[in-house]
Amino acid sequence: MTKYFRFVRLVSLLGASVVCSTAFADPFLVGRGMSDITGEAAEVGMMGYGSTSQVTAGIHMRQRARAFIVVDQASGKRMVFVNNDLGMVFQGVQQAVLRQLQAKHGSLYSAENVILSATHTHGGPGGFSHYALYNFTTYGFNPRTFDAIVGGIVAAIDKAHRDLKPGSIAIGKGELTDASNNRSNPAYLRNPQAERERWGRNIDPEMTVLRFKQGGNDVGVISWFATHGVSMTPQNRLITPDNKGYAEWRWEHDMKGVRYNSDGDFVAAFAQSNAGDMTPNLNLDGTGPTANELDNTRIIGERQLQKALAIYNGALEPLAGPVDYRQRYIDLSRVTVQARFADGVVRSTCPAAIGSAFAAGTEDGRGLDGFNEGDLTGNPFFQALGGIIAPAPQWVRDCQGVKPVLLSTGTQAPFPWSPEVLPVSIVRIGQLAIIAAPGEFTIMSGRRVRETVKAALGDSVKHVVFAGYANAYSGYVTTPEEYDAQHYEGASTHFGKWTLGAYQQSFHELATAMRQGTAAGASAAVRDLSGNQMSFQTGVVLDNTPIFKSFGDVVQQANASYSRGQRVEVSFWTGHPKNNLRLNGSFLEVQRWDGSAWRTVAVDGDWNTSYRWVRIDPVWGTSQAVIGWTIPADAESGQYRIRHNGDYKNGWNGAVYGLSGTSRTFVVN
């Protein structure tokens, strides 16, 4: 071989080496995006605690959707994971999101490859389900909150779609032991001793972290960890993404400089897992680790953040291999459960029903208001549904076994009050499998599902993550042993004692189909109730100010000066926040004079601020916005002011107009 051909051969080999290295380094296309999903900030029942007295009255931090898209460059297959600062992702939300995605992108995104998961905050506005059980405390359906959520999720996915670039993903795991406690330990102790000893703890400490890169640039992270979004108590009335939202904000805002106004923002998603019996209230009395709910939110969020950072910056394993997915809709009310997924005997699930312990609630908060039969006159939504709750048929009670049935949601007319046809899916990214389940699985239930999927997939995967609260919502899922205890979680396991077995069986079928390369199998027909919604929420009639006052006028003025750590509070005459949700905007701005212009340094999505809406005179229509800012310890000294942005509805022509107000200038030193 001549020197020339040797040279050509060498160049060819080097080129092949570079190509192979590039393919190995960037096996995927990676995109991320984020958008606002904050609903109505005043006079809307909140979702989670089931209390009619917990009604929104402002914003502590905004809720956001955080989307990631991964495309296998070899096959072109893609998946979407969206982490949402919501109590639940209801089925109607999934349906509306998929419709909008189809209109924009055709068949690129569908129920098969899109996972919409909720962090399970109990501090957001409700009324965005199409099923009655979840709209009782909000007096029906709230279309504006629903549209804000759906539109924001779609916007986040669109951003991620536009952002797709060659990239890589690495995975790491660790254990976090001081951010959760088992609120239903007597039920947990009913599980077999050998199984409990194998896991070692009555909490699930596992945290899984994915690090996303585009080329050499870090662009995002997902952290899965099981703990409830209930650090903020039922007494809270300000919209909050709770402890996981705090962790997200800290990583994005404090560490990456994100100001939530760019398609290129770093995205940090703290996702939920099998948190059914996991509470962040470590004292098991609705408090912990302190007696202050804001401190608890910050502390539990910070502990998740620090563990995720340690994993993220530690030794990580690159994901390599195909993107794949399997998905089906299962009618959970009528599954024949094979003996291997039950107690050695063929069993069946039941039409949905909730038990008496559901009304009792947990240490974190009581059950749903309004389930005393015959005492329905106070809720017009009840009256419109028929006035009296239909009693549970005896055969449903028999099927539910030890559960003393309080309400048979699955046999109400003309539609069930909770969904029975539910989505189950598995998404694979290389050696990682993500299980998407539409409910709150206790830690032992989640462990059993993970083991079922891992066994069915075999050596094709090494890691299995459980993503709860995904794509729909169907209450809790306990183990059969925990079900027999009939604590809150067992009473809220809708489809009876063998619900977990039905899910294990369904996920086993999906995992087997994925391993064998076959189709997922037929799906049950899904009900669409978007055209059957009722709302008894009062709209905004008019906004007004006292005589000789104007919208935006200051009521309570700022002091002349403050020190770091002190709190500034300024109030303004304002309009109702329902007039304009100000999505991807803000009801407040903390501004600092930089020598030539006023620069915004904080908004209503930041931890140190708050926007409270206070009704002054409901007849005359007056209200105030109370803006608070706790000055950070690292705030720059200088001149500051508080600005309020709002909208009011004119009582004469019904039109909505913008308003603004500005405080006096004050000094921070």
Q: What is the pLDDT of residues 90-105, one digit of tens each?
A: 999 999 999 999 999 9
Question: In angstroms, rounded to a whole number, what is the distance separating the alpha carbons of residues 387 and 536?
Answer: 15
Q: Which residues in 33-67 are b (16+ Cβ under 10 Å) and which e?
A: bbbbbbbbbbbbbbbbbbbbebbbbbbbbbbbbbb
pLDDT value of position 25: 64
Question: In angstroms, rounded to a whole number, what is the distance separating the alpha carbons of residues 437 and 331?
Answer: 14
Is the predicted pLDDT of residue 384 greater than 90, yes or no? no
pLDDT value of position 380: 74
Q: Which residues in 369-381 are b (16+ Cβ under 10 Å) and which e?
A: bbbeeeebeebeb
Same domain (yes/no): 560, 476: no
Question: In angstroms, rounded to a whole number, what is the distance separating the alpha carbons of residues 276 and 482?
Answer: 12
129: region left, alpha or beta (phi > 0 left; psi from -120 to 50 alpha): beta
Question: In angstroms, rounded to a whole number, what is the distance separating the alpha carbons of residues 283 and 100?
Answer: 44
Q: What is the pLDDT of residues 144-159, one digit of tens each?
A: 999 999 999 999 999 9
Q: How far is CA 323 from the centre of its chain?
A: 24
- CA proximity to 172, closest of 307, 301, 322: 307
Strand, coil or helix: what is 452? helix
505 lies in a domain?
Answer: no
The answer for residues whose C-beta is within 8 angstroms of residue 261's C-beta and 6 or more apart is 584
Is the predicted pLDDT of residue 23 greater than 50, yes or no? no
Banded model confidence at residue 538, pLDDT cuts 50, 70, 90: confident
Structure tokens at 194: 């050998």
Mean pLDDT of 518-540: 94
**Among the three residues 466, 481, 496, which one is the final residue of a domain in this structure?**
481
- 307 within 8 A of 207, measured Cβ to Cβ: yes
418 lies in a domain?
Answer: no
Banded model confidence at residue 22, pLDDT cuts 50, 70, 90: very low
**Among the three residues 459, 481, 503, which one is the final residue of a domain in this structure?**
481
Q: What is the pLDDT of residues 454-501, one digit of tens each?
A: 999 999 999 999 999 999 999 999 999 999 999 999 999 999 999 999
**Could you tell me the residue range of the domain that residue 563 belongs to?**
554-668
Q: What is the pLDDT of residues 326-346, one digit of tens each?
A: 999 999 999 999 999 999 999
Same domain (yes/no): 37, 185: yes
Same domain (yes/no): 152, 245: yes
3 lies in a domain?
Answer: no
Banded model confidence at residue 369, pLDDT cuts 50, 70, 90: low
Mean pLDDT of 47-55: 93
Question: In angstroms, rounded to a whole number, what is the distance separating the alpha carbons of residues 228 and 120?
Answer: 7
Output the CA angle 558-563-567, nearest 5 degrees: 50
pLDDT value of position 373: 38
Banded model confidence at residue 381, pLDDT cuts 50, 70, 90: confident
- CA proximity to 444, closest of 486, 504, 400: 504
Task: Please report the beta strands in 176-259, taking only residues with DSSP state E, as ranges in sequence order.
Answer: 181-182, 206-214, 217-224
Mean pLDDT of 359-372: 60
Same domain (yes/no): 469, 570: no
pLDDT value of position 261: 87
Is the predicted pLDDT of residue 507 greater than 60, yes or no? yes
Is the predicted pLDDT of residue 505 greater than 70, yes or no? yes
Strand, coil or helix: what is 640? strand
317 lies in a domain?
Answer: yes
495 lies in a domain?
Answer: no
Same domain (yes/no): 143, 270: yes
Banded model confidence at residue 660, pLDDT cuts 50, 70, 90: very high
Residue 13 pairs with which residues in a beta bridge?
none
Same domain (yes/no): 454, 599: no
* Helix then strand then coil, % of the chain, to nearest 5: 30, 30, 40
Give pTM, 2 decimals.
0.94
Is the predicted pLDDT of residue 606 greater than 50, yes or no? yes
Q: What is the pLDDT of residues 133-188, one digit of tens each?
A: 999 889 999 999 999 999 999 999 999 999 999 999 999 999 999 999 999 999 99
534 lies in a domain?
Answer: no
Question: In angstroms, rounded to a whole number, what is the distance separating the alpha carbons of residues 536 and 40?
Answer: 15
Same domain (yes/no): 306, 453: yes
662 lies in a domain?
Answer: yes
Same domain (yes/no): 204, 72: yes
Structure tokens at 655: 């039109």
617 lies in a domain?
Answer: yes
Question: In angstroms, rounded to a whole number, what is the distance separating the alpha carbons of residues 245 and 280?
Answer: 14
Same domain (yes/no): 474, 611: no
Question: In angstroms, rounded to a whole number, what is the distance separating the alpha carbons of residues 495 and 475?
Answer: 9
- Mean pLDDT, all residues of the chain: 93
Q: What is the pLDDT of residues 192-215, one digit of tens each?
A: 999 999 999 999 999 999 999 999
Q: Of all residues in the chain, what percent carry a pLDDT higher than 70? A: 93
Classify residue 518 by burial, with Cβ atoms within 10 Å: 0-12, 13-18, 19+.
exposed
Residue 16 pairs with which residues in a beta bridge?
none
Question: In angstroms, rounded to a whole number, what is the distance separating the alpha carbons of residues 182 and 277?
Answer: 6
374: region left, alpha or beta (phi > 0 left; psi from -120 to 50 alpha): left
- 429 within 8 A of 323, measured Cβ to Cβ: yes
Structure tokens at 116: 């919409």
Write the DSSP symbol of residue 137: G
Same domain (yes/no): 470, 619: no
For the beta carbon of residue 289, count every other beta carbon within 10 angstroms: 18
DSSP assignment string, 34-84: EEE-----EEEEEESS--TT-EEEEESS--EEEEEEEEETTT--EEEEEEE
How many structural domains comprise the chain? Answer: 2
Task: Please report the beta strands in 365-518, taking only residues with DSSP state E, as ranges in sequence order.
Answer: 405-407, 421-429, 432-436, 440-441, 463-467, 476-477
For the beta carbon of residue 343, count every other beta carbon within 10 angstroms: 13
Instruction: Output the domain CATH number for residue 656.
Output: 2.60.40.2300
Banded model confidence at residue 14, pLDDT cuts 50, 70, 90: very low
pLDDT value of position 385: 73
- 292 within 8 A of 191, measured Cβ to Cβ: no
